[in-house]
Structure 1
Amino acid sequence: MSRTTSVELTNMIMIENLTTKEVLVENRKNPSWPGVTFPGGHIETNETIVASVIREAYEETGLKVINPTLVGIKEWPLQDGGRYIVMLFKATNYQGEIHSGREGKIFWTTRDALKNMQTPGTFMEMLPLFDTQEISELALSASINGRRQTTWL
C-alpha cells in the first residue's frame, strides 16, 4: 500500500483592515468557481507556502502582506484519488494600494455584507476557520448523490 498520493496545493488569504473591520475580497471571473471570495491561488514548484501567499496576494490585490498567519486548511478528495488542499492564511499587516487584476475585481467589504453576495460553493462554510482557533480544518467528502459532507475539525 502506497503512502503517497497526488496533491494539488493552493492558498487563500483573508486580508483584514482592523480599523474599518473590512476584509479584502475578489469578485472572481473564473467560471469554475465564480463569485466573491478571498485572493489566493496555486503554490508553485519550489515555492514555499508562505512565499506563495505573499506572491498571490500581491498579484491579485497590489498589497504586500507582512507576516501572514496560517489559520487552517480546507481539503477535499479528487476523483482521481488525489487531494486538493487549500492553506488558509490571514493578514492584518500590509502595504500598498489595492488594484484589480486579471482574476477579478478587488474591493473592501464587511463580513455582514458578504452574506448577501454571490460567493462560490463552500466559501461561507469556510469563514469560521479564519477567526475560530478551535477549528483548524474544513474537510469536504466526495460528493454523494450530488451532496458533499462537510466536517469541521
Structure 2
Amino acid sequence: MKRVANCLLKKGEQVLMLQKPRRGWWVVPGGKVETTETIQEAVIREFYEETNLKLINPVLRGVFNIIIKDGEKFIEEWMMFTYFADSYTGELNLDCEEGILEWKNINEILALPKAQGDNIYLEHILNSDEVITGKFIYTPDYELIAYSMDKKMETIS
C-alpha cells in the first residue's frame, strides 16, 4: 500500500494549488511518504520539494483510503494523509517540476478540475477543525464510484 501526505496551505482567502500536467487536475501539494519518515516529516519535506515553502506546524485534518477497482477487480490502494496549515516560510518556487503552482481564491478552488472526491474532503478541511476519515473508490480512469466519510456511504450514479 502506498502512503501519501499533502497539505492545504491557506494564506488569507487563498489556498496554494498545484495543477498536474497529466490530466490538468488541481491538487494540494504533497507526495509519497518514504519508508523511514513519519507522515509529518513527509508532508513537510514533500511540500517543500514542490513549493520551496516550509510549513510551520501543519495539523492533520484527514486520513483517506483511495481504492482503485476495475469492476470487481481490486487494482491498488493507497492512504492519503491530508494536513492543514496557515503558516510557512520561504518564497514560492515558480519552476515546479510537478506542475503549475498558483494561489487560488478559496471561492474558486471547488470549481477547479480535479478528482471528484477531492472536493468532498477539501470542503470539509476548509470549514472544520475536526479530523475526518473516509474512503474513495475509483475506476482506473479515476471516475468516482463511491465514497464514505466517517461511516456514511454514498454511491455515485
CA contact (8 A) 2:136 2:144 kept: no
1:77 match: 67
* Structure 2 unaligned blocks of 5 or more: 151-157
2:154 match: none
- Give the TM-score, by structure 2 length: 0.79
1:63 match: 53
**Which one of the candidate residues 39, 46, 49 is aligned to 1:49?**
39
Paired with 1:117 and 1:78, the residues of 2 have a C-alpha distance of: 22
Residue aligned with 1:122, SS? helix
Name segments (4+ residues, structure 1) moved above 6 Å.
none
Alpha-carbon shift at residue 98 of structure 1 (Å): 0.7
CA RMSD across the alignment: 2.1
CA contact (8 A) 1:24 1:38 kept: yes
Query: What's the % identity of the aligned pairs?
Result: 24
1:4 match: none
Paired with 2:112 and 2:123, the residues of 1 have a C-alpha distance of: 17
Alpha-carbon shift at residue 133 of structure 1 (Å): 4.1
Alpha-carbon shift at residue 95 of structure 1 (Å): 0.3
Structure with greater strand share of residues: 2
Residue aligned with 1:116, SS? coil
Residue aligned with 1:54, SS? helix
2:98 match: 103
Q: Which amino acid aligns with 2:82?
A: L
* Structure 1 unaligned blocks of 5 or more: 1-6
Q: How many residues align?
A: 141
